[in-house]
Structure 1
Amino acid sequence: MGISFRQIDTISSGIKEDCEAIISMFKEFIVYQMLDTDKVVDLKELQDIGFDEQCSVFRLLVAENSADKQIVGFILYYTKYSLISGKGIWMDDLYVSQQCRGSGMGRALMSALAKQAANKSYDYIDWRCLSWNTSALSFYKHMGSINISETYGIYNHKFALFGAEGLRLVADNYADNSIFTVRKYRTEDWHELNQLFNNCLKYEKQEIDRSKPLEMHEFNEQLDIGLFRVFVAQLKDNNNKSLIGFVLFYQNYWLNIGKGVWIEHMYVEDEYKNLDVSDMLMTAVAKHTVQHSGLTMGWAYTEYMKQFVDSCRQLCANYLRDNSNSHLFHLNNHHLIQLINLDN
């Protein structure tokens, strides 16, 4: 017999003591999603990375059954940043125990997440759903979210490098270039970088309301608190030290792998595409990930990534995965408010 949502009266932020139950539920999730892995992070790692007072990589929402105080549903999420939408939330996992499906718990968890986004002045929630999971696709559609993949035809290949060894093989491939250098963004780069941002959005064929331009102080504030990182490629010529490319990325977390990074944007000016700029930008991110004990590096494929993907196939094919069987979903500010109001 199923459980009605009236019996599940507590949705709250996860605490360290919930981690054991989360790992147990994620093992159910692996079976349900038919994932090609049986690996799950260990308990101490989940507790240390999720509940570090100085730098927590992710957050949890948990649903508890009031009858026996057992956790029967959860969401794992973290903050993200996009040049298109600004700061928001990435929902990496939403899972409800089998006996509680159809009880309204999934919507209640999503509503709680929408409230978290609103409280932090985030404007959207993004996530992916596997293409075969028709019940979940229908659930998200009826909730008012936008299926970006269907609406805009965006079915990007999602690549990832898994494991410390694969990342090290790529990071060790980094080499100095006589024409350009790759380094961290500096405040004085802003005006040039902002022009590269505009060019990147044109390349990605993204329309954005330029009546509200990206402000330098806001961008730098988000960078300073660690919401994301930016590396730039700069020419070495004494007469021309222009920026010719950039990569923007942020921390993420996967329960079957652990801590890593996601590359949100990468762009190189057309006239420099043949100089291995994209390769070196991506390799710099791999090096950064290794230095910060990350275990995975993911990105959505564009033509700029082709050379890097080819390099990875030569260097560490066993550590490269193509995960392209999913739909991308988006809840904007308007739909977040609707979802919150529906649950009140």
Structure 2
Amino acid sequence: MNISIRKAERKDCKRLMELIYELAVFEKAPQEMTVSLEHFEESGFGQNPVWWAFVAEVDGKVEAFALYYIRYSTWKGQRMYLEDILVSEEFRGKGIGKLLFDKLLEEAEDRKLSGIAWQVLDWNESAINFYKKYKGVKFDDSWVNCAINF
């Protein structure tokens, strides 16, 4: 098995959308995925990109990704926000998630960001246990998620 990590390219968007749908199904909310491929591509590779990603190729096929954007904290400054990280079900437990997360850490350091933030569902024990392996990870259950959908 040959694994390589690289920056996502526009040509990866269709496959990324397939993996994002896999994630939506895993999180028991496929009906919540409403973004179109065109909007997704434009948002990542148009004139003003708002997200970036790394992909993991296994034997030449994208089987995992980590998608992030830069947010601003009035307390901490610029921070990376990890929107989603997913390894396709067939390839979980093979160290691919660690390769992607380590690449995110490297990217955040290279960009001189103040840190990385993300969310994890409270029932996703495998993800929680994955993150616990990283030194300095803080779980904060004192904030409530809020959103307005249009």
Normalised-by-shorter TM-score class: over 0.9
Say if 2:45 is the partner of 1:51.
yes
Give unmatched runs, 5+ long, in structure 1: 1-6, 164-344
Which of 50, 53, 57 is the aligned partner of 1:60?
Answer: 53
Pick closer, same or farther for the CA change 1:120–1:158 going to 2, 3 Å: same
Between the aligned partners of 2:44 and 2:61, the Cα distance in structure 1 is 20
Between the aligned partners of 1:148 and 1:84, the Cα distance in structure 2 is 18
Q: 4+ residue stretches of structure 1 with deviation over 4 A?
A: none
State whether residues 107 and 143 of structure 1, in contact with CA within 8 Å, keep that contact through their aligned partners in structure 2. Answer: no
Amino acid at match of 2:16: I
Between the aligned partners of 1:39 and 1:121, the Cα distance in structure 2 is 32
Higher relative contact order (CA 8 A, sep 6+): 1
Between the aligned partners of 1:118 and 1:97, the Cα distance in structure 2 is 27
Please give the root-mean-square deviation of Cα atoms over the aligned residues, in Å: 1.4
3-state DSSP of counterpart to 1:72: strand
Sequence identity, in percent?
27
Between the aligned partners of 2:42 and 2:70, the Cα distance in structure 1 is 18
2:143 is matched with 156
Q: CA deviation at 1:36?
A: 6.2
Between the aligned partners of 1:17 and 1:147, the Cα distance in structure 2 is 35
Q: CA deviation at 1:42?
A: 1.3
Amino acid at match of 2:99: A
State whether residues 27 and 38 of structure 1, in contact with CA within 8 Å, keep that contact through their aligned partners in structure 2. Answer: no
Normalised to the residue count of structure 1, the TM-score between the two structures is 0.42
3-state DSSP of counterpart to 2:147: strand
3-state DSSP of counterpart to 1:89: strand
Normalised to the residue count of structure 2, the TM-score between the two structures is 0.93
1:102 is matched with 93
Pick closer, same or farther for the CA change 1:65–1:40 going to 2, 3 Å: farther
Give unmatched runs, 5+ long, in structure 2: none
Matches within 5 A, 1:136-151: 136-149=127-140
1:123 is matched with 114
Say if 2:4 is the partner of 1:10.
yes
* Higher helix proportion (structure 1 or 2): 1
2:27 is matched with 33
